[in-house]
Amino acid sequence: MAHINVNFISSTLQRPVDFDIIIPSITVPELGKYQNNEFRYEGQSKFPVLYLLHGSYNDHHSWFAYTSIERYAEERGIAIVLISGENDYFLNNRKSRYEDFLENELQDYIKGTFPISNRWEDTYIAGLSMGGFGALYHALKYPDKYMGVGAFSPDIIQETKGNKKAINLTKMLDEDIKEGIDVPWLYIAVGNKDSLLRENKVFFLKMKSLKVEGYQKIVPGYDHEWAFWDMEIKYFLDMIPRTDAYANTMEKI
């Protein structure tokens, strides 16, 4: 597994930006298969990619600190990109343009620099809490760019600073479907002790009434917590619809 930290100048954010990318590579159990430098990197298929967003008061390092995301990515042959979005819900506002950065500059840089597929069918987005809101927002606003989206304990309604109207993801979903837009496959999970349960239930009912393709669940015994999110990111990675060269393969770490 390659874990790469990148620092580059963002023209969108007008400052240096750090992000991490995990790229699957040869694993320790595989070493015995190759003798005399037989292993080669050239010619391998490009990897699918998941853009993974953090929650409020965290940054992109949080997923590394509290979950086994690196192992999950290596086992399943998928690249993971982790960025920091401060507490701005991965939206544009008066002080930053995280929405534009994620949708345009970052993805262009990732796919132009690393062995990452440029097919929308190989592109996914997910996040927890604030990042769950961001993942759903981006998937519903840019549905032609993502195959699937994962939201773990997501905010559904967000009153952002500088916006006169709250952003309501349930209304966004309803508007997309009424306009005939094919939304990405949705995976949403929330604990039954979570304070965001009520608004998630409203979103679930809207999904069912509109017959939106996806998976939703309320998990007993969990609150707004990392034990839940570590479990759910693993389930999400196992369930997303994949058609890439690494689909249905599992490495041993």
Model confidence, pTM: 0.94
Measure the CA angle with vertex 160, ends 159 and 163; round to 5°: 95
* Phi, psi for 175 (deg, rounded to 5): -65, -40
At a CB cut-off of 8 Å and minimum separation 6, what does 233 contact? Answer: 52, 63, 67, 69, 72, 126, 150, 152
DSSP three-state, residue 154? coil
Tens digits of pLDDT across the chain (253 residues): 799 999 999 999 999 999 999 999 877 766 666 666 666 666 679 999 999 999 999 999 999 999 999 999 999 999 999 999 999 999 998 889 999 999 999 999 999 999 999 999 999 999 999 999 999 999 999 999 999 999 999 999 987 555 557 899 999 999 999 999 999 999 999 999 999 999 999 999 999 999 999 999 999 999 999 999 999 999 999 999 999 999 999 988 8
What span, in angstroms and rounded, lies between the C-alpha atoms of 154 and 232?
A: 12
114-118 long-range Cβ contacts below 8 angstroms, 24+ apart: 114/21, 114/23, 114/79, 115/23, 115/44, 115/46, 115/47, 116/46, 116/47, 116/49, 116/79, 117/46, 117/47, 117/48, 117/49, 117/244, 118/46
Q: For position 116, what pLDDT does the model report?
A: 97
Q: Does domain 2-239 have CATH number 3.30.1490.20?
A: no
CA distances 21 to 12, 119, 165, 185, 236, Å, are: 19, 18, 35, 23, 19
